[in-house]
Amino acid sequence: MQSASLLRYDNPVLVSRNDEKKTPKSKKFTAGKAETSGDILSGNTQKASSDQKQTDEILTSILPPLQWEADGGLWVQKVSSQPATRSDVIQATTLLDQRLRERQARETGICPVRRELYQQAFDELIRQVTIECAERGLLLLRVRDEINMTLSAYQTLYQSSVAFGMRKALQAEQGKHEMLEKIDNLNDEKLNLERAVADLKAKCEAIERRELERRTQDEKKHTDEIQFLKRSVQQLKQQLEMIIAPKK
């Protein structure tokens, strides 16, 4: 058995069994039975039966029957062709509200449960309208298909946007990781350069101190040499004056 739906179905029918063997005799019997039944129908009954058959075919094309295998046979459950009364509509509305509460469907936003239940309710409306007027039912079918196509397009667009956002987020995260790694490398390089600058400053200061000391020593040495030469010149001058001075 299939799960309960807001769309009204007839009772399931067993159409075939896996161990069933059809014989020409059974086919002949079925054909003869159909022919006998056709002979009994009158003209008005045939017209009503033809209209009912056309309605059933339209319902089957709009709302395909359910099929499943159970108990070794194939079961088929078609959409009901019985017209809906006012009480049936009220009951369907009550059942819709009950299913929404039972399955805890969200009242707003995207909710697959709410969409499924309202889809079933809309199919039930299509069934009811098609029984009264097949043309209105077909028009509602076009509206339903258009709504479903639009929802599918929005769903595809949403999934694509989510995937695009995820790719961008991953790219941003990857770029962020690379940028942080680059920042760390630049900070390390900055520290190394700062150490190199500090070492060069220390070397420059040491060189300046050594040069200052050397220059001071050279100036002192030069001054001492000048003083020594001045004293030597003075002594030589005195000796020369003593030599060339007239003797008394």
pLDDT of 48-102, one tens digit each?
Answer: 567 677 778 888 888 888 888 887 888 888 888 888 889 988 998 999 999 999 9
The answer to whether residue 153 is domain-embedded is no
pLDDT tens digits, one per residue of 4-43: 788 888 888 888 876 654 444 433 333 333 333 344 345 5
Residue 4: the pLDDT is 76
The answer to whether residue 53 is domain-embedded is yes
Average pLDDT, integer, range 239-246: 81
Residue 25: the pLDDT is 42
The answer to whether residue 212 is domain-embedded is no
Residue 247: the pLDDT is 57
Computed over every residue of the chain, the mean pLDDT equals: 82
pLDDT tens digits, one per residue of 144-181: 999 999 989 998 998 899 999 998 888 888 878 888 88
Average pLDDT, integer, range 176-197: 91
Q: Which domain holds residue 122?
A: 13-132
Q: Which residues pair with 76 in a beta bridge?
A: 13, 67
Residue 47: the pLDDT is 60
Token pair listed for 158: 């949403």
Nearest to 65, CA basis, from 113, 119, 115, 7: 7
Average pLDDT, integer, range 109-136: 89
Question: Domain tally for the chain?
Answer: 1
Residue 48: the pLDDT is 58
CA 4, CA 6: separation in Å to the nearest integer?
7
pLDDT of 223 > 80? The answer is yes
User: What would you measure as the largest C-alpha separation in the chain, in angstroms?
Assistant: 193
The answer to whether residue 183 is domain-embedded is no
What are the contacts of 108-117 at 24+ separation with CB within 8 A? 115/151, 117/6
DSSP per residue over 87-127, as a string?
HHHHHHHHHHHHHHHHTT--SSS--HHHHHHHHHHHHHHHH
Confidence of residue 3 (pLDDT cuts 50, 70, 90): low
The answer to whether residue 29 is domain-embedded is yes
pLDDT of 186 > 90? The answer is yes
CA 235, CA 109: separation in Å to the nearest integer?
118
